[in-house]
Structure 1
Amino acid sequence: MTTTTQTTDPRPALLAALDQAGRLVHQVGPGDLTRPTPCEEYDVRGLLGHLVAVEGRIAHILTGGRPFEVPSVVERPEDDWAAAWDAARDRVDAVLADDACLQGTVTHPIGVLPAPAAISIYVSEVATHGWDLAMALGRRDELDDAVAEPVLGPIRRALPESGRDGMPFGEPVPVGDDATPYDALVAWTGRDPRWTA
């Protein structure tokens, strides 16, 4: 989540976060859609709608679009979420396959950023919402700490420890020094790693 020029290519981290989220999306059944999630704004249906919209927004801004030209949540029939995810993922993959997506600046919801910095922010968003979905489904065991690890340092630098008024994040939840990367990541975003439905 830095806003400085990246020294490494953030695309592998984004692809790993998308892969993990996609595996979880494919496990959602109609009976899961009204389950609560740790992201208080969304139940599972709303979270799926947001995740698919994030895929669309990634592809849109990396090809010159502005973020608010596309929705932040999409609606789909109850049994069509996996197909919607896969279709949006195909577009993201095509955009990321072109090295041109790393060049210049893009318009992200927080402002104009170098393209790699915007991609890095989306890594943290997809990784965090992947945790939300896994916890809602009772599938914490399917989360890979290797997905959380590369965004933990940047998100700690980007989000202040206090004074988050007006930000879509709660205050950090205290965790021990031995916390896993995923627990440390979600705690810094204001989520309780011990959350249960």
Structure 2
Amino acid sequence: MTTQTAQDPRPMLARALDQAERQVAAVRPDELGHPAPCADYDVRALLGHVLSVLYKLARAGTGGDARGVPDVTEGVADDGWAGAFASARGEVERVRADDGLLDRMVQLPWAALPGRDALEAYTAEFTAHSWDLAHATGRLAGLDPGLAAQALEAFSEFAPPEERSEQGRFSPVVAVPEGADVYTRLAAYLGRRP
């Protein structure tokens, strides 16, 4: 049985995965070619990337090297994305149930981190990609603002604006009107044009 404390990132990861799973399940085959707001992806490629992120998290959490997982999983049937996500999420759920993961070092594509930090980073990534899918398919209603607030804080720490370029993982911050909602601010912080 796991003990969940204020320092345990797993409850927020579960919320982010729930949200991402709802977005993935809502995608219709006729939406797969829609452009996504992130780097040269359409919805199909974004779904493939989200699936790969699950595979990376599962591999890193079991002591493997996530750098060996491709950035985009291909070969999923048009109507198979929800099932593929659920299956990969099951692997992640088994890995995250291990309390030892929180303090064990894991190898991610960009760094070796304690498992706790890796789970927080992937929570932010799943939150951002949920917005990407919602924006690309017109399903922005119902996104969890608490997840976006946490993701914005996390990205502010590990992707500061001064380290951005058009060639990097994150584009420069985009200006948004004062009073913009938290998902709009998150997307703009990541260089998306909401």
Shift of 1:14: 1.2
Q: Which residue type is aligned with residue 47 of structure 2?
A: L
CA distance in structure 1 between the aligned counterparts of 2:104 and 2:39, rounded to whole angstroms: 35
CA distance in structure 2 between the aligned counterparts of 1:118 and 1:35, rounded to whole angstroms: 30
CA distance in structure 1 between the aligned counterparts of 2:102 and 2:77, rounded to whole angstroms: 34
Shift of 1:177: 4.5
**Once the two structures are superposed, what CA deviation does each residue of 1:43-79 show, in whole Å capped at 9, x if it has no partner?**
0100111111111111110110101222221111111
Secondary structure of 1:106's counterpart equals strand
Match of 1:42 in 2: 41
Q: Which residue type is aligned with residue 100 of structure 2?
A: A
CA distance in structure 1 between the aligned counterparts of 2:36 and 2:193, rounded to whole angstroms: 11
Alignment of 1:127-146 (within 5 A): 127-146=127-146
Match of 2:3 in 1: none
Unaligned runs of 5+ in 2: 1-5
1:184 matched to 2:185? The reply is: yes
Secondary structure of 1:186's counterpart equals helix
Tell me the TM-score normalized by structure 2: 0.90
Match of 2:51 in 1: 52
**Once the two structures are superposed, what CA deviation does each residue of 1:124-150 show, in whole Å capped at 9, x if it has no partner?**
111111100001110011311111111
Kept in 1, the 8 Å contact 2:128–2:151? The answer is no
CA distance in structure 2 between the aligned counterparts of 1:157 and 1:54, rounded to whole angstroms: 20
Match of 2:71 in 1: 72
CA distance in structure 1 between the aligned counterparts of 2:23 and 2:163, rounded to whole angstroms: 33
CA distance in structure 1 between the aligned counterparts of 2:46 and 2:141, rounded to whole angstroms: 19
Q: Pairwise CA RMSD of aligned residues? A: 1.5
Q: Which residue type is aligned with residue 88 of structure 2?
A: A
Shift of 1:22: 0.4
Kept in 2, the 8 Å contact 1:13–1:150? The answer is no
Unaligned runs of 5+ in 1: 1-6
Kept in 2, the 8 Å contact 1:134–1:142? The answer is no
CA distance in structure 1 between the aligned counterparts of 2:114 and 2:178, rounded to whole angstroms: 32
**Once the two structures are superposed, what CA deviation does each residue of 1:12-48 show, in whole Å capped at 9, x if it has no partner?**
1111111101001111111011011111321010011
CA distance in structure 2 between the aligned counterparts of 1:167 and 1:119, rounded to whole angstroms: 22
Alignment of 1:103-114 (within 5 A): 103-114=103-114
Identity of aligned residues (%): 42
1:100 matched to 2:104? The reply is: no
Moved over 3 A (4+): none
Match of 1:20 in 2: 19
Secondary structure of 1:141's counterpart equals coil
Kept in 1, the 8 Å contact 2:37–2:136? The answer is yes
Tell me the TM-score normalized by structure 1: 0.89
Q: In terms of mean alpha carbon deviation, does 125-134 or 64-73 score higher?
A: 64-73
Q: How many residues align?
A: 187
Shift of 1:176: 4.0
